[in-house]
Every structure is written in structure tokens, then in C-alpha cells.
Amino acid sequence: MNLLEWLEKIEAFHPDEIELGLERVSRLAIELNLLDSSAKIITVGGTNGKGSTVATLESLALQSGLTVGCYTSPHLLRFNERIRINGTDIDDETVVESFEIIEASRQLFSEKFGKPLAITFFEFTTLAALIIFKRTELDLVVLEVGLGGRLDAVNILNPEVAIVTTIAKDHQSWLGNDLKTIAFEKSGIFRQGVLNYVGDQSSLDLILQTRPEFESNLFLPSNDVVDTLTPLIADRRINPRRLLKQNLSLAIFAFKSLFPNEFENIDLSNIIKNIQLRGRFQVVCEQPLTILDVAHNEQSAKNLVLQLNMLPLLGRRFAICGMMEDKSISEFLLALDKAIDEWKFVNLPIVRAASAAELVSIGQGASLKGGIQMHESVVSAWRAVESVIEEGDQLLILGSFITVAEGIVAIK
């Protein structure tokens, strides 16, 4: 099978039919000898900021001459984006080979115990990444947690550093409706005896309410790192993506902890300039300024407003927005509304998505100050904006990974 056929096969695995827990994926990982690694491992979890933190760690490693593998999710256009070696997406053949190895082991295990060993899509792809990293001589492996923490497949490995960026409400159907429950799940990646970092004081306080055992083993980024970053992130020539200090600080602090000698010779301004990050405040056109962002919850919306406030705006700001129906849509829209003049809500080609009509209704119910229009798709919204946008105006395409992916296709 080619990669597309493999993905169709493993996407048919239904997590609702599989008992949650790490035992199943751990069994396969042990069979495949994946739990021991010569590379240093950093696990990155949290509600928002994971992608920026992973990308910064990757940039730090590459600029230091270290070899690095990164595993992230979801992807925008191609599955291969999820697994990178030294900043390059993995090729189809390597992914397919790893899938074949996993499936063969899964079948042997099932035959041995007389019943099928069921695993989820994310568990399958996590094992694939670990196989690829194991076969490559790497100094550092950075693993992004999918959405949870405690029961996430990447949590089968014991990292040298575990990071939780922020705690906020998202994926409540999986993680719970209150912040304490979410904090408990997210902080499940922490370990005693390793370096555990968290991005802000409020998240740290939440974690300690549910995980008091980490009180002496949980840290915020040090002030010296934070202070060094302040003038750099304010300079658009150095920080064109308007990356946030909190995420940069976490990555730098974690990297410095593991590789102090390599860190001594690092030029932080060069690190920030060379961070590669898809779909996070990604400028795809300068005139008019067009920005892609996968922000999809209230906290990420507030962070996006902070980034937008650093940009001069001479005209109007349009937003093409499509979202999943299980998000806190009203809170997201209200957090952004003061920065948006014209909302263009769209349908997305996925069952889980809220319809454009639903988004319009929610926006009207929230009394958004920006104008509201409905469009059949991201492409049709893009064409409508193209016909009226002027020099000095700005365009955001946001609300989900699917919206941003559709935006990339539309703009091309």
C-alpha cells in the first residue's frame, strides 16, 4: 500500500471502541524496542503554544549543529509534516516502511494472545515516529502531545524534560469541563526526578492544586531568559511572526538545561528569525497583509489579539473563520471581535465542523461589533475579500487547522 492507502486504513480505527490507556501501545512499543533512546527527549503538552515551543526547540538544535527529530500534530496539507528530521518533513517511503513494521508486529501480537490488539490512529502514527527516530542518529527528540497528556501515546516515553505550556479550556469532551481536571490530564506528562516546566504562574498554580507532589519539581522559565528576550521579540525584523515571549522562553530554558555548552554560542536573534512554523501567525502575503493562524479557543484568540496589536493597521481587518462545532465558539469570537472589522464565516469539508449558518447565528447572538457575512467555503470567502480589500487592509484566515489548510489552497 502507498501512504494514502495506509492512512485510510488506520484512520478507520475508532478510538471510541478502544479502552483508553497506555497499556496497548506500550506493549507494541516494548515489542519494537522503542522505549530506550540514546537521544535526549523533550515532551511538550499544554492547551496553546505547543507548536511554537516545538519549533523553537527545533531551531535551537539546528543552529547548534545538533540533530533533531520532531513529532507534531495535526498536519495542514500532508501527513509527512507530522514527522521531521533536522527540519525536513519525512518522505512517504520511510513512513510506509514504519507502518508496515508496526502492522506486522501488531498482527503477531494478536495471534500470540488470540485476540486483536487494537490501537488508535494517533497511537499508530506515534509508534511510526518513534521507529523513524530510533533508526536515525539524533541528539534530541521533541514530542508534541496530541491533545491530552496522561493517556497520550507520547507519554509512554520518559523524557529528560517535560513542558506544559498553558492550561485552558479546549477538547472538553475528552479532557473535562473544568480547569482543574484539564490540569490533571495535561500534567500527566510530568515525572519525578526530571525537569518539569510550565509556561505561566496561573497554569502552575492549577497544576499544583491537582498534583501537589510536584511542588519542589516544577519551574517557570528563569527571569534572565525572559529579560533577554524582551527587546528581541519586539523587533519585527527579528520576530516577524510575532512569536510570544512565553513560548520562546520555555523552549530556550528547556534547551539550555539539556545542552548548556551548545547554548553558550547561540545567537538568539538568529534562532528566532529561523523558526519554521506553519499556520501560526504565518504571513503568506504582504500586500495586503494576509495571516494564517490555527487559533481555535478563547486563550489562543487572546494571544492572537496580542500579536495583532503589535501590527500597524491603516484600514480594515477581515477574518475568514471556520470552526469545529465542539469548540466554545462564542467565547472565541468575542475574544477576537475588538480586532476584527468584517467577519466572513464559512463551511468546512468535514463532518465535525460547525456550518457557516451556525457560526453566523452564534456571532449574531454574541452581538459582534464586526460586520457578519456567510460564505459557502473558504475559497468563496477569499474571492469575496479579494474583490473589496484595499491597500492598508489586513486579512486573517483562522479557526481550525482545516480552515488554514483550505486557505493555503485558496490563496495558491
> Residue holding cell 512554523?
277
By the 8 A CB rule, do 192 and 217 touch? yes
In the predicted structure, residue 15 carries a pLDDT above the cut 90:
no
* Biggest CA pair distance of the chain: 68
In the predicted structure, residue 215 carries a pLDDT above the cut 70:
yes
By the 8 A CB rule, do 254 and 38 touch? no
Range 358-365 average pLDDT: 97
In the predicted structure, residue 60 carries a pLDDT above the cut 90:
yes
Q: Using DSSP bridges, classify how beta strands 83-85 and 68-71 pair: parallel, antiparallel or unpaired.
A: antiparallel
In the predicted structure, residue 171 carries a pLDDT above the cut 60:
no
What share of the chain has pLDDT > 90, as a percent? 75
Angle at 275 between CA 90 and CA 156, to 5 degrees: 55
Q: Which amino acid is at 49?
A: G
Q: Could you tell me the sign of the dihedral formed by the alpha carbons of 90, 38, 188, 197, in that order? A: negative
Specify the pLDDT at position 227. Answer: 83
Best-predicted range by mean pLDDT (129-133, 151-155, 279-283): 129-133
As beta bridge partners, residue 282 has: 292
* Grid cell digits, residue 157: 516515553
Range 69-82 average pLDDT: 96
In the predicted structure, residue 173 carries a pLDDT above the cut 60:
no
Confidence category of residue 224, pLDDT binned at 50, 70, 90: confident
Q: What's the distance, CA 250 to chain centroid?
A: 15
In DSSP notation, 249-271 reads HHHHHHHHHH-HHHHTT--HHHH
* Grid cell digits, residue 246: 512565553
Coarse DSSP helix, strand, coil percentages of the chain, rounded to the nearest 5 percent? 45, 15, 40
Q: Is the bond preceding residue 312 a cis peptide, omega within 30 degrees?
A: no
Q: Is the bond preceding residue 159 a cis peptide, omega within 30 degrees?
A: no
* Domains identified in the chain and CATH numbers: 3-273 (3.40.1190.10), 282-411 (3.90.190.20)
Q: How many Å apart are CA 205 and CA 385, to the nearest integer?
A: 44
Range 32-58 average pLDDT: 94
Angle at 155 between CA 151 and CA 159, to 5 degrees: 155
Top-confidence residue, 222 or 360: 360
Specify the pLDDT at position 117. Answer: 84
Q: Pick from 249, 183, 262, 261: which is nearest to 219 by CA?
A: 249
Confidence category of residue 177, pLDDT binned at 50, 70, 90: low
Confidence category of residue 18, pLDDT binned at 50, 70, 90: low
In the predicted structure, residue 318 carries a pLDDT above the cut 90:
yes
Confidence category of residue 276, pLDDT binned at 50, 70, 90: confident
Range 2-28 average pLDDT: 85
Helix (H, G, I), strand (E, B), or coil: what is residue 300? helix
In the predicted structure, residue 350 carries a pLDDT above the cut 70:
yes
Specify the pLDDT at position 257. Answer: 94
Helix (H, G, I), strand (E, B), or coil: what is residue 135? coil
Range 301-318 average pLDDT: 92
Confidence category of residue 343, pLDDT binned at 50, 70, 90: very high
Q: Where are the beta strands (DSSP E) in 264-353?
A: 282-286, 289-293, 317-321, 342-346
For 25-39, the pLDDT digits (tens) are 999 999 999 999 899
Instruction: Name the packing angle between helices 3-11 and 121-134 (round to 10°).
Output: 140
For 132-168, the pLDDT digits (tens) are 999 998 999 999 998 778 889 999 999 999 999 999 8
In the predicted structure, residue 353 carries a pLDDT above the cut 90:
yes
Q: What is the rounded average pLDDT for all residues in the chain?
A: 92
Specify the pLDDT at position 175. Answer: 57
Range 102-129 average pLDDT: 90
